[in-house]
Amino acid sequence: GAVVSQHPSRVICKSGTSVKIECRSLDFQATTMFWYRQFPKKSLMLMATSNEGSKATYEQGVEKDKFLINHASLTLSTLTVTSAHPEDSSFYICSAPSNRGGVTDTQYFGPGTRLTVL
């Protein structure tokens, strides 16, 4: 099956610093990628849709200036948490649909990034 990687898998940072998370589709191209955030024992909440070659689409309540998304190529999307604070601590997961597909296609998830802000 298709493989999606995320880096780093775990990051601990001080309050006020910025953290970049990379999401890569390793063996397929993805014009769209999705970023989710998950708090302990909660569901995955969609943060934004990353679109290759255009601006990301953010969900209501998600600050676009705080969570910067860049879809640099057909295999790479990055999420930068700017000026991170303890309340940003969470599990961040990206997904990509198979075969340049859309939301109704199988979504392949990255392994997730555990962010802890001290």
Partner 1 sequence: QQPVQSPQAVILREGEDAVINCSSSKALYSVHWYRQKHGEAPVFLMILLKGGEQKGHEKISASFNEKKQQSSLYLTASQLSYSGTYFCGTANTDKLIFGTGTRLQVFP
Structure tokens at 93: 């997961």
Nearest residue (CB) to partner 1, 14 versus 102: 102
For residues 70 and 79, give the distance between their C-alpha atoms in angstroms, rounded to a whole number. Answer: 7
Nearest residue (CB) to partner 1, 58 versus 82: 58
Q: Which of 13, 11, 38 is nearest to 22 (CA)?
A: 11
Nearest residue (CB) to partner 1, 36 versus 78: 36
The CB-of-86 to partner 1 minimum distance in angstroms stands at 20
The CB-of-84 to partner 1 minimum distance in angstroms stands at 21
What does the binding site for partner 1 look like in residue numbers (CB under 8 A)? 34, 36, 42-46, 49, 57, 93, 95, 102-112, 114
Structure tokens at 48: 């934004």
Q: Which residues pair with 37 in a beta bridge?
A: 45, 92
For residues 30 and 69, give the distance between their C-alpha atoms in angstroms, rounded to a whole number. Answer: 15
Nearest residue (CB) to partner 1, 2 versus 76: 2
For 87, list phi and psi in degrees, rounded to 5.
-70, -10
The CB-of-41 to partner 1 minimum distance in angstroms stands at 8
